[in-house]
Amino acid sequence: MKELDFSRMFTLGQYLPGTSPLHRLTPQVKLIGIILLTAGLLVTSPVLGTLAGIGLLIILSLIAGIPMKFLFRNALPVLPFLILIALLQLFFTVAGNSPVLYSWGRFTITGAGVLNSLAIFLRFFALMGLLTLFTAVTPSREIGHGTENLTMPLARIGFPAHAFSLIITITFRFIPLLTEETESIMKAQTSRGARIGTAKNPVKRIISYMPILVPLFTASLQRAEQLAEAMEARCFRQGEERTRYVTYRYTLRDGIALGVSILFFGLFLLFRLGQWERVFIQ
């Protein structure tokens, strides 16, 4: 029955409780930080900019007290693919004006090729580390609250800020519930003699999934309807007058974190605009 136990497969980020300055940041600041840094890493120059990002990541993980090993522990399964892609980039990047570093038969290594393959590694590790760190210091409820506080100003122009954050909160609340639901549907169908996922033939396999998926969807829709009724019965109303059990206050720490995020976003853009890596390519 081990294959029916999904709870341990829940890998969408793992929260590590702690009291580090990074843990105690206001949720809004954490969200702004992760958005700025992710966007920055995506636009920055492939090698120098990403190296700066990895530098920042090392400092942040030291502050948070989360070992680098934890941030990259899931990199192993994908490493062979990464190496393969990087090797292909190394040999097959065609750039007319790039200096040829090494040539052997039809394989040529150019400056641009080295740069491209290096960039694939660095960018993947930087983003992986950053997102893992974010989920490690942010409990799920803070993501909902942070989104709400962050989008509140938009509510004036008609953006359903409260509704949106509530959707996120419901999603996080229902992930473990629905995982359990899936397990019990599977057990129920197995006890009725269903053979799930054992067929080698993909078409038969999809057909064997149907008795799981359709009840899962209808059960979820039922739960959504019950939840809506329960909330209405308790006079739930959307709007500014709602208060919360947990409130967040901005402190000096948040100001510093915000400053550092903006600073690094600017730095990433600078690396992009500066194009200092051109020396390798031309």
Partner 1 sequence: MKETLSIKKITVAGVLSAVAVVLGITPFGIIPWFSGASITIMHVPVIIAAVLEGPVVGMVVGLIFGVSSMIKAAVSPGGVLDPYFVNPLISVLPRIIIGLIAWLVYRGLKRWELPAVIAAALAGTFTNTVLVIGSLGLFANINWEEMLGIGFWPLFGSVFVANGIPEAIGAAIICTAVIASWKKIEGSTKKSSLEDIDGEDQE
Query: What is the SS3 assignment for the chain?
Result: CHHHCCHHHCCCCCCCCCCCCCCCCCHHHHHHHHHHHHHHHHHCCCCHHHHHHHHHHHHHHHHHCCCHHHHCCCCHHHHHHHHHHHHHHHHHCCCCCCCEEEEECCEEEEHHHHHHHHHHHHHHHHHHHHHHHHHHHCCHHHHHHHHHHHHHHHHCCCCCHHHHHHHHHHHHHHHHHHHHHHHHHHHHHHHCCCCCCCCCCHHHHHHHHHHHHHHHHHHHHHHHHHHHHHHHHCCCCCCCCCCCCCCCCCCHHHHHHHHHHHHHHHHHHHHHHHCCCHHHHC
Q: Which is nearer to partner 1, 157 or 246 (CB)?
A: 157
Q: Which of residues 203-242 bind partner 1 (CB under 8 A)?
A: 205-206, 209-210, 212-214, 216-218, 220-221, 223-225, 227-228, 231-232, 236, 238
Does residue 259 touch partner 1 according to CB under 8 A?
no
77: number of Cβ within 10 Å:
7
Does residue 78 touch partner 1 according to CB under 8 A?
yes
Q: Which of residues 130-169 bind partner 1 (CB under 8 A)?
A: 130-132, 135, 158, 160, 162-164, 166-169
Query: Residue 44 CB, nearest distance to partner 1 (Å)?
Result: 13
Does residue 43 touch partner 1 according to CB under 8 A?
no
Query: Residue 3 CB, nearest distance to partner 1 (Å)?
Result: 8
Q: Which of 1, 2, 12, 96 binds partner 1 (CB under 8 A)?
A: 12
Q: Which of 83, 100, 101, 177 binds partner 1 (CB under 8 A)?
A: 177
| Residue 279 one-letter amino acid | V
Q: Which is nearer to partner 1, 171 or 282 (CB)?
A: 171
Does residue 281 touch partner 1 according to CB under 8 A?
no
Does residue 54 touch partner 1 according to CB under 8 A?
no
Query: Residue 269 CB, nearest distance to partner 1 (Å)?
Result: 17
Total number of residues that touch partner 1 (CB under 8 A): 74
CA 95, 97, 99, 105 torsion-angle sign: positive
Q: Which of 96, 105, 193, 202 binds partner 1 (CB under 8 A)?
A: 202
Q: Which is nearer to partner 1, 30 or 254 (CB)?
A: 30
Question: Contact, 127 vs 55, CB < 8 A?
Answer: no
Query: Residue 81 CB, nearest distance to partner 1 (Å)?
Result: 4
The C-alpha atoms of residue 24 and residue 18 are separated, in whole angstroms, by: 8
| Residue 129 one-letter amino acid | G
Does residue 124 touch partner 1 according to CB under 8 A?
yes
Q: Which is nearer to partner 1, 144 or 261 (CB)?
A: 144
State both tokens at 203: 């078409």
Does residue 96 touch partner 1 according to CB under 8 A?
no
Q: Which of 179, 189, 190, 251 binds partner 1 (CB under 8 A)?
A: 179
Does residue 11 touch partner 1 according to CB under 8 A?
yes
Query: Residue 47 CB, nearest distance to partner 1 (Å)?
Result: 14
